[in-house]
Structure 1
Amino acid sequence: MPEPDPEFTRLPYRRLSEAALGRAVELGAEHADFRFERVRDASWRLRDARLTGAFDTVATGFAVRVLHQGVWGFAAGTEHTAEAAVAAVERAVAAAAAARPLTRARTEPAPEPVHRDRVWVSSYRVDPFALSPRERTALLAERSAALLAGAGVRHVDAALQAVRESKYYADTAGTSTVQQRVRVLPEFTAYRPDPRSGALVSLRTTAPSAGRGWEYLTGEGWDWDTELAALPDLLAEKAAAPSVTPGSYDLVIDPTNLWLTLHETVGHATELDRAIGHEAAFAGTSFATPDRLGELRYGSPAMHVTADRTAEHGLATVGFDDEGVAAQQWDLVREGMLTGFQVDRGTAARAGLPRSNGCAFAGGFDRAPLQRMPNVSLRPAPDGPDLDALLSRVRDGIYVVGDDSWSIDTRRQNFQFTGQRFHRIRDGRLAGQVRDAAYQSTTVDFWRSLEAVGGPGTYLLCGAFHCGKGQPVQVAPAGHGSPAALFRQVNVLNTTGANPR
């Protein structure tokens, strides 16, 4: 297992924490926590195998949060001195006092066991920041050049984002943790002219972002050579494909597409702060309200969705959340029924739950933690079919591969999703691509149309590298695993507008 970044472990976060938490106790805080972060975030972009842009930034700072007379106060700072930490606590207590007249009820966070002197590092082998900029650019350029040499390919875009997040947390209950996670987002997009209009048609790789290191770019966890070799022919087929005929189709949806539908229709809908109306200002609420727990038929009996902070290589995998809660796994939907929500310590207490399930995360050292999504995944059937067997059940349908655009309403009910590729299925076999397709439904109608999920061999862990929430907006990663899955009679639209009235 990799060790935490030595540049981080040399920083004086323990001394700052002791000063901050000691001052919080002196000022009468019922609870206080201290978080120190060093986040390195880098990105590279190439066009036709030539570097067009890059950045490499480091954000370092600390945050203090105090619960003072039942009200939260928050402050942050960048100076690595005990004096600065104490001053931040005093600002946080003042903020709590200012907010008290506007607060309807005291906050009582759900209890959490103490986790003392714990260290956790995510599962990766090669730190992407251990390579030189020249080495990172060279691999992207080599892959771009090989793709650009493909028949009919006119242009190639390549992009890579890498993040190393190092964090120390401590609170007045006695918990103290050091943790580090690494994640990468690689993409290659090929373009060729449409033979009819001359406009460029694009096709992007389906390799998911992952909680992995540089080894992911060299073939551990994804077969880049095979995907990039196949891309020019798939792009040529897409460019020449007919526009889809709108109608109702059976869909077999690949995990490279279904992860995003999970994210929008289940992940966001089962955030308890949304379900009780606390997130309405930014992105709406949820149709899946707490009073429907155990009663809402979310989908068919084949639908089993878990929330998980422990999945290896998951984008949302951690050892502990930003409230010192240990990572866990639990059910959100079981046999099609709504059985759980995502909660932090505050919403857990409001809901009468004995403990948070570890869903607090701050999008930076200068942001207060919000309730954020874990890895939300549709589980495969232990003895489920492979992809060919799922396709064989379809007489007339479409196989959907790769994510693209999406749209969903503020209650997470009505949605529309597109994809990278749409393959026609006729009599159980793939029969060429179609273009301009989008599938549209309501959340419960869609998931109730789920007939079968594939077996473990069809399962893939994907996810959202940048999920926005809150005001001011915060960004967090969220993982989503899925098998291939079969849905019956889903409405498919033509995105050019060629739809019957």
Structure 2
Amino acid sequence: MPPTASSSAGRQVDPLFLALPLRRLAAAALDRARQLGVSHADFRMERVRSASWRLRDAKPAGSSDSLQLGFAVRVVLDGAWGFAAGVDLTEQAAAQVAEQAVAVARLSARISKAAGGGDLVELADEPVHQDATWISAYEINPFDVPDAEKTGLLADWSSRLLAADGVSHVDATLLTVQENKFYADTAGTMTTQQRIRLLPSLEAVAVDDRTGAFESMRTLAPPAGRGWEYLGGTGWDWAGELARIPEYLAEKVKAPSVQPGRYDLVIDPTNLWLTIHESIGHATELDRALGYEAAYAGTSFATFDQLGVLRYGSDSMHVTGDRTAEHGLATIGYDDEGVATQSWDLIRDGILTGYQLDRRMAKSKGLGRSNGCAFADSPGHVPVQRMANVSLQPAAAGPDTAELWAGVENGLYLVGDRSWSIDMQRYNFQFTAQRAYAIKNGELAGQVKDFAYQATTTDFWRSMKAVGGPQTYLLAGAFNCGKAQPGQIAAVSHGCPSALFEQVNILNTQQEAAH
């Protein structure tokens, strides 16, 4: 189903973007591409504004405000891609960029033919979306809020933490992005979009003046496709979390080092989202499974021949790809190939059932329509297959988090993401957390530290004994997922409930470092 008109109810696309000669430039580029005989051409105009603020101990430590503006033309000619980009916003320049893209396609076709040929570029069919507008779900555009109000709020929150016993330093950051895109292609699709996202974070540090040892504790509030209202309490209890951080930090400073061994783990969604990102999100990108990312960030153990066969995890494992989730960082109305975004299964009952696709891969592998995963992070970059909001679904009548650990005799409850490592096939991994609580006979027994959980992707997900109910579900994520050459950065969310895993290997990181 295409995005509904209600997606933009009560909000308007930035007038500065609409004032650009979007349709004239698109018409000039697409008309010239048609004259040169392409089988497909698309035009994409982007205006991306990014701003950040940093405070150290409640005092300003830096800020930035940048703007990217430009357009790109992509074509298919003689079964080959061509791409070019420009910044001169005239019709003549748009036509010239189209000519450059066609020249690239012709050269690519000749090189491919001289090398013995290869798969011709063909695109999966997509319905035409005429003059469609989509705006993300937010109430207050953060770029409409005075900078003094932003830094004032961060300074106030920092001061609250600094006033607590045991807190030596506080770092505060806020990142905000407004992304506008206009897309048109030779099939007749034309879309205009605007999305807002932000990432607020505060980290308290405790330093032992005698030894120099330190520990830190960061807010768990995830980045979100929301507006300034998020920092006012919509979607997150900021006041409550800031009040508890000094207590968590003080307990962590005094916590004993973990005993290595095998433990049952109850993993909070504030930690599990990152394991989903690395071991499922990247592994189910079809370009990786086909070997396209081998030179940069790796391939995938979940190869195409495993579709419908691979036992990825336990029967309770249901994972979806979703470009439509409200407030998701990868949520959009239409992707950068004019595909209306969707939700679909990647893993069902523990079995690999789908991949993330763009139009070329969908066509070449006979998978029908693309599921809308083509994305470019700037007007100067070509769209590549990028991650959807990949999420583990909760059990409809599942337990809450406390009920999950109530049945554990010897385990750990892990909260908050921290460091991670995974191999190039997304198979062998190691993750840490901000906090780990010992579980003894069904009850929490205080924090431990110096821990990491280690497994292979399939062993880990097959050990999942239970997933929590919707009341434990959280949509978390990151602003900085990297991929492709030249490198591109994308924001993506991952939802999940709390979940119980049996007999996972726990390392003592201090002992490992000593070795």
TM-score normalised over the length of structure 2: 0.96
1:15-414 equivalences under 5 Å are 15-103=24-112, 104-194=118-208, 197-414=211-428
Q: Any idea what SS the aligned residue of 2:341 has?
A: coil
> Does the aligned pair in 2 maintain the 1:269–1:287 contact within 8 Å?
yes
Residue 498 of structure 1 deviates from its aligned partner by 4.8
CA–CA distance in structure 2, aligned partners of residues 498 and 478 of structure 1: 32
Q: Any idea what SS the aligned residue of 1:248 has?
A: strand
> Does the aligned pair in 2 maintain the 1:195–1:239 contact within 8 Å?
no
Q: Deviations along 1:294-350, whole A, 9 cap, x unmatched?
A: 111000001100000110000000000000000100000001000000000011111
Residue 500 of structure 1 deviates from its aligned partner by 11
What is residue 6 of structure 1 aligned with on the other side? 15
What is residue 471 of structure 1 aligned with on the other side? 485
CA–CA distance in structure 2, aligned partners of residues 411 and 61 of structure 1: 35
Residue 102 of structure 1 deviates from its aligned partner by 3.0
CA–CA distance in structure 1, aligned partners of residues 119 and 308 of structure 2: 28
CA–CA distance in structure 1, aligned partners of residues 22 and 78 of structure 2: 27
Amino acid at match of 2:272: L
Residue 79 of structure 1 deviates from its aligned partner by 1.0
CA–CA distance in structure 1, aligned partners of residues 296 and 208 of structure 2: 39
Residue 196 of structure 1 deviates from its aligned partner by 7.9
Establish whether residue 448 from structure 1 lines up as the match of residue 459 from structure 2.
no
CA–CA distance in structure 2, aligned partners of residues 281 and 290 of structure 1: 19
CA–CA distance in structure 1, aligned partners of residues 478 and 168 of structure 2: 29
TM-score normalised over the length of structure 1: 0.99
Runs of 4 or more consecutive aligned structure 1 residues displaced over 4 Å after TM superposition: 498-501
Residue 494 of structure 1 deviates from its aligned partner by 1.1
Q: Deviations along 1:192-234, whole A, 9 cap, x unmatched?
A: 1248833221111110010101000111000000000000010
CA–CA distance in structure 1, aligned partners of residues 257 and 96 of structure 2: 63
What is residue 436 of structure 1 aligned with on the other side? 450
Amino acid at match of 1:483: P
Amino acid at match of 2:108: A
Amino acid at match of 2:507: L
Amino acid at match of 1:261: T
Establish whether residue 422 from structure 1 lines up as the match of residue 436 from structure 2.
yes
CA–CA distance in structure 1, aligned partners of residues 107 and 228 of structure 2: 47
Residue 478 of structure 1 deviates from its aligned partner by 1.1
Amino acid at match of 1:43: S
Residue 105 of structure 1 deviates from its aligned partner by 2.5
CA–CA distance in structure 2, aligned partners of residues 425 and 491 of structure 1: 15
Q: Deviations along 1:378-397, whole A, 9 cap, x unmatched?
A: 00000000011001011110
> Does the aligned pair in 2 maintain the 1:252–1:399 contact within 8 Å?
yes
CA–CA distance in structure 2, aligned partners of residues 369 and 91 of structure 1: 17
CA–CA distance in structure 2, aligned partners of residues 66 and 193 of structure 1: 57
How many residues of Structure 1 are paired with residues of Structure 2 in the alignment? 501
> Does the aligned pair in 2 maintain the 1:190–1:202 contact within 8 Å?
yes
Distance change in 2, residues 1:388/1:196 (3 Å): farther
Distance change in 2, residues 1:194/1:455 (3 Å): farther
Q: Any idea what SS the aligned residue of 2:275 has?
A: helix
> Does the aligned pair in 2 maintain the 1:249–1:398 contact within 8 Å?
yes
> Does the aligned pair in 2 maintain the 1:212–1:313 contact within 8 Å?
yes
Residue 151 of structure 1 deviates from its aligned partner by 1.3
Q: Deviations along 1:45-89, whole A, 9 cap, x unmatched?
A: 000000100001111100000111111100001111001101101
What is residue 4 of structure 2 aligned with on the other side? none
CA–CA distance in structure 2, aligned partners of residues 409 and 105 of structure 1: 29
Amino acid at match of 1:405: S
Residue 364 of structure 1 deviates from its aligned partner by 0.5
What is residue 496 of structure 2 aligned with on the other side? 482
> Does the aligned pair in 2 maintain the 1:195–1:240 contact within 8 Å?
no
Q: Any idea what SS the aligned residue of 1:404 has?
A: strand
CA–CA distance in structure 1, aligned partners of residues 317 and 367 of structure 2: 25
> Does the aligned pair in 2 maintain the 1:303–1:334 contact within 8 Å?
yes
Residue 463 of structure 1 deviates from its aligned partner by 0.9
Amino acid at match of 1:38: R
CA–CA distance in structure 2, aligned partners of residues 239 and 105 of structure 1: 58
Amino acid at match of 1:33: D
CA–CA distance in structure 2, aligned partners of residues 210 and 102 of structure 1: 44
CA–CA distance in structure 2, aligned partners of residues 499 and 177 of structure 1: 53
CA–CA distance in structure 2, aligned partners of residues 498 and 320 of structure 1: 47
Q: Deviations along 1:458-491, whole A, 9 cap, x unmatched?
A: 0000012110000010001111000000000000
Aligned-pair Cα RMSD in Å:
1.2
Unaligned 5+ residue runs, structure 1? none
Amino acid at match of 2:212: G
Distance change in 2, residues 1:191/1:475 (3 Å): same
CA–CA distance in structure 2, aligned partners of residues 92 and 288 of structure 1: 34
* Bigger mean CA offset, 187-196 vs 359-368: 187-196
- Identity fraction in percent: 61
Amino acid at match of 1:480: H
Q: Deviations along 1:111-138, whole A, 9 cap, x unmatched?
A: 1000000000000000000011111111
Amino acid at match of 2:258: V
